[in-house]
Amino acid sequence: MSFDAAYEALTDHDDDARWAYGTGFTDPLAGVDTAVPAGVDRAELAAYCLMLGDDALIMSHRLQQWVTRAPELEDELAIANIGLDLLGQARLLLSRAAEVEGAGRDEDALAYLRDEADFRNVRLAERADADFAHLVARLLAFATWRLALLDRLTASADPVLAAIAAKGVKEVTYHRDYAAQWVVRLGDGTPVSHDRMQAAMDAVTPLTGELFARHETELSLAAAGVAVDPTALRPEFDAVWAQVLEAATLRPAPASGAPAADDASASAGVSSAPGAGGRHGVHTAAMAEILAELQGLARAVPGGAW
């Protein structure tokens, strides 16, 4: 297709293949039945969508903080695109949560007007990264876990969750592969890059235990065929993690065979008591910093529109 001006090319959204950053895509929920499945508790479904949406929202925000800091321009684009993929997932999931709860809130209200204790994301998503090695280690853990989760959710009894998951599987497959390639490149690189990658994997591994901790909402909805029991994700996660470690010539972290939640919680300054994780609204000190940046404008200008 030819255009008389560059502006026409930028504003034409018919050719989806031309657009990489969130415009011109077909609505993944077009034609999907949005009714809550019979026998499914609305409050539980809303809470579950909040969990998955918050994971994506907070991880996306952390990734966006790396734009202009990546080692190469190609990686700037890759990290920005991964962050936007997760932001898109967050929007769909938070919108579903708002619709199901029926309290008159929308995705913006859930993202910008909730307090820290009301967020349900895993704490791995909120962790700051000391360097690029820590970023790709954390992204590898997050994407490997989330891909296993979304893959199973494509068979969810909730058609909306199944459609969101089907879209997300394609995106998160790339996220995992991107992170894995960098872990291998750095781990099997120079002595300096190897040591830094090893330190990053050692730091991230203890934080992964929370990903497989059971929450009562997940178990209830899993029994109804809507959600996934997180413990079922562990074997796939461990297999991928071990494969990447071997290719990267990295040794497993001391706590790689167990959740080590107590160590992770202690180092993050939060309680390690049962039920005290991010799924229950207990976060690290980093969460306050994230929300101050994420929500500042919306709270400063209530009801503002741009």
Question: Which domains, ranges and CATH numbers included, belong to the chain?
Answer: 41-300 (1.20.1260.10)
Note the pLDDT tens digit of each residue in 99-155.
999 999 999 999 999 999 999 999 999 999 999 999 999 999 999 999 999 999 999
Burial grade of 300 (CB within 10 A; 0-12, 13-18, 19 or more): exposed
- The string over 66-103, giving b where at least 16 C-beta atoms fall within 10 Å of a residue's C-beta and e elsewhere, is beeebeeeebeebbbbbbbbbbbbbbbbbbbbbbbbee
Please give the Cα distance from 111 to 218 (Å, whole number): 21
Q: Which amino acid is at 11?
A: T
List phi, psi (to 5°) of 283. Answer: -120, 170
For residue 286, what pLDDT is reported? 96
The predicted model gives 47-75 an average pLDDT of: 95
Kindly report the pTM of this predicted structure. Answer: 0.87
Candidates 220, 88, 59, 62; CA nearest to 164 is 88
Q: Which of 14-18, 136-140, 147-151, 194-198 has the lowest mean pLDDT?
A: 14-18
- The per-residue pLDDT of the chain, averaged, comes to 88
Q: Is the pLDDT of residue 260 over 80?
A: no
For residue 302, what pLDDT is reported? 87
DSSP letter assigned to residue 281: T
Burial grade of 283 (CB within 10 A; 0-12, 13-18, 19 or more): buried
The predicted model gives 245-274 an average pLDDT of: 58
Q: Which of the pair, 16 or 66, is modelled with greater confidence?
A: 66
